[in-house]
Structure 1
Amino acid sequence: MRIFAQQTAMLLVDVQERLFGHIEGHDELEKHLLVLLQGLQSLDIPIVCNQQYTKGLGETIQSIRLLLGDVEIYEKRTFSCCQNPDVMEALKALHVKRVIVAGVESHVCILQSVLDLLDAGFEVIVCADALGSRKAKDHELALLRMTQEGARVGSVESLLFELLRSADHAQFKTISNLVKAL
């Protein structure tokens, strides 16, 4: 399965103030998330952003909030983003076949969202270096489970270059410069 920009959206999950600092390797994860988001924005790929119980976990971290600008953020109380009808409506309204998933935590909200996306008929690509959990083992096991269930796994750099398809793409230099930061 190849990933084409015009068939793809991104689901960003729970990158929030009171949780993110507890995620293993959060500084590196933040860097990867920012590169991924900037790259996707340069390719006009829509981003659907979620927050788990904002009152308890806070807002999306500032660096990402600033980058997202006026992107709508969906509030949720369920672990799966897909249990929020507004999120599913937003994804279906985009008329995409594939969803790139990134954020935290890999073994809870990411995993459950991925399972529900697959059940809803989407092809799912989890961006392994733009996901995280508090414990590395939970992250590793979640990646294993997601692949067993049918999700594909990629990295920020590989996904962005696959979406470009060619060095002739108008955004090649932008993406190339972004991934140099990784």
Structure 2
Amino acid sequence: MHNKAFTPENSALLLIDHQLGTMSWTHSHDINLVKAAAIKLARIAKAAGLPTVFTSSMEDHAQGPLLPELREILPEAFDARIKRPGVVNAMHYEAFNRAVRATGRNKLYVAGITTEICVLFPVLQMLDEGYEVQVAADASASYTKFGDDLALRRMEKAGAIITTHDQIVSELAVDWTTPIGHALSGILAYH
């Protein structure tokens, strides 16, 4: 059983399909809170220096573009985002799988839209491939609360840790008086 903490030195952030169209289809959570949590995850990654991989699906269709705020926070990761042509499980898409491996990190923070489709299947595969995974439930959403709950339960049963962005920021900070703790505490307070 893994028990070593996720740290800025050993973890990476994966944000899956936080697209304007896709987000508008979800009803499991207040989408404004989900959006705010996803943006905070990007801020956390920037402050902690986490390798970050964005992916989107069919941006030129109804799914639409990724949140523009993500480009403002992490422009390089945004420009390098993996644009999938419609592959449901992002880990099945070689460019994304390669980008995840290229982070060199075995501990992954994951969030996405929708939890029950675009997060569930890649997370199950990440676990199968030996990654340790924490799913930020508050930065993910589904069509229904029922679907969201079942997806979170299924991932947890498979070995993922279900968490929130506040838990992530606190875990990475360790000590609020350090430079990284100070940078991260600003995100915790930012609303």
TM (norm. structure 2) is 0.90
Alignment of 1:90-129 (within 5 A): 90-129=99-138
Name 2:74's counterpart in structure 1: 68
| Aligned partner (choices 155, 171, 183) of residue 174 of structure 1 | 183
Distance of 2:143 and 2:189 partners within structure 1: 27
| Aligned partner (choices 37, 40, 47) of residue 45 of structure 2 | 40
Following superposition, the deviation at residue 108 of structure 1 comes to 0.4
Name 2:12's counterpart in structure 1: 9
Letter paired with 2:109: I
Name 2:169's counterpart in structure 1: 160
SS in 2 for 1:132: coil
SS in 2 for 1:121: coil
Letter paired with 2:149: E
Q: Deviations over 1:102-123 (max 9, x none)?
A: 1210000100010111111100
Distance of 1:100 and 1:29 partners within structure 2: 15
The root-mean-square deviation of aligned C-alpha atoms, in Å, is: 1.3
Letter paired with 1:8: S
Distance of 2:109 and 2:81 partners within structure 1: 17
Distance of 1:20 and 1:82 partners within structure 2: 21
Following superposition, the deviation at residue 159 of structure 1 comes to 0.9
Name 1:49's counterpart in structure 2: 54
Following superposition, the deviation at residue 165 of structure 1 comes to 1.6
Residues 40 and 160 of structure 1 are in contact (CA less than 8 Å); yes or no, is this contact kept in structure 2? no
Higher strand share: 1
SS in 2 for 1:115: helix
Any gaps of 5 or more consecutive residues in structure 2?
A: none
Following superposition, the deviation at residue 51 of structure 1 comes to 0.4
Any gaps of 5 or more consecutive residues in structure 1?
A: none
SS in 1 for 2:41: helix
Letter paired with 1:58: G
SS in 1 for 2:76: coil
Residues 130 and 155 of structure 1 are in contact (CA less than 8 Å); yes or no, is this contact kept in structure 2? yes
Residues 176 and 185 of structure 2 are in contact (CA less than 8 Å); yes or no, is this contact kept in structure 1? no
Following superposition, the deviation at residue 66 of structure 1 comes to 2.5
Letter paired with 2:64: G
